[in-house]
Each structure stands twice: as C-alpha cells, then as structure tokens.
Structure 1
Amino acid sequence: MQVISSREFRQNQKKYFEKIDMGEQIIVQRGKDKSYTLTPVLEDDLYFTPSMVERIAQSIEQVKEGKITKISSKEELKKLLEI
C-alpha cells in the first residue's frame, strides 16, 4: 500500500495507474481529512454489462408483446416477489 498526495497523483497518473493494474493499493491523500482509494473497475462492477443489456432488451420486448404483470397494491407486489 502506498499513500500519495493529490499533487503527486496528478503529476504521475500513468505511473500510479500501472501500479494499480499490477495489484498495488494506492491511497490518494487530499488535504488533512480526505483520502481516496484507487481501484480498477472490473467487468463485474459495471452495471451495464452485455448480459444486463440483453436482459433489458428482452424485458422491453415482453412489454411490447403485452407480457406484463400489473401490480395494484402492496400485497400484490409482496405476492409477486414472494416476500
């Protein structure tokens, strides 16, 4: 783990991104009371993954085809969600 200043990070971003890619943890200290951990974003972290986009497209098609369930009350929602 390495703690660096925000100035150091700005001046050497490439260097620190490469260290992060190699698995090193980098913490950027900003002022006296704020710190940030830099971590790579993995495909699993992305909300709109290809599989999620496909699920959304399928859901849109189901709505167009009228294959929907209308919920009118809290009780109906609980029943649908099985809670």
Structure 2
Amino acid sequence: MKIVETTSRKFRERQKDFFDLADKGQQVVIRRGRKQAYVLTPVSEDDLYFTPELIERIKESQQEIKDGKSLTFNSVKELDDYIRSL
C-alpha cells in the first residue's frame, strides 16, 4: 500500500478525505514545514492510549467543563498572557 503525503494546509482543507483514507488502512503522512511530519493513525479503545485511568480522567475533565471549572480564552494574546503567568 502506498503512503499518501499531504501538507498541513491541504490536510486542514480536506480533513474528511484524509480521515477516510486512514480509516481504510491507508498510511497518511502530514508534512509541516520541511522538518516535521506526522502520521495519521486511527485509535480504538483497545489501543494502549486509552487506559482505564485515561478514560476516567477524560470523564472527570468533561464533568469539570460542564461544572464551569475550565478556562476560556478569547484570543491568542490572552492565552499567551496566561501561560506566561504560570
């Protein structure tokens, strides 16, 4: 099977198409500039990424958002200011 390569810009424009290719088992490489590249890989609940602890933390985080215990930034500057304050 051949590798499908795309730029980050084309990926943003046609995300659905690239996700569909990855879902069908096609290897999709997304290039970001000259030195960085990423592989688009489907992840299932059986994969190591989704341990029971991670799933529980995700659920807790979702509840925190529902409870209003999250931060919202309206601009990149607000986010930058917050990160610098840490």
TM range (shorter): 0.5 to 0.7
2-structure distance, mates of 1:6, 1:23: 20
Superposed displacement of residue 6, structure 1: 0.2
- Aligned identity (percent) is 39
From the CA coordinates, give the structure whose radius of gyration is larger: 1
TM-score by length of 1: 0.56
Superposed displacement of residue 3, structure 1: 0.8
Superposed displacement of residue 22, structure 1: 0.5
2-structure distance, mates of 1:3, 1:47: 30
Superposed displacement of residue 42, structure 1: 1.4
Superposed displacement of residue 9, structure 1: 0.2
Superposed displacement of residue 44, structure 1: 1.4
Q: Unpaired segments of 5 or more residues in structure 2? A: 57-86
Give the total of aligned pairs: 51
Structure 1 residue aligned with 2:44: 42
Q: Unpaired segments of 5 or more residues in structure 1? A: 54-83
Secondary structure at the aligned position of 1:40 is classed as coil
2-structure distance, mates of 1:35, 1:11: 17
Superposed displacement of residue 48, structure 1: 2.2
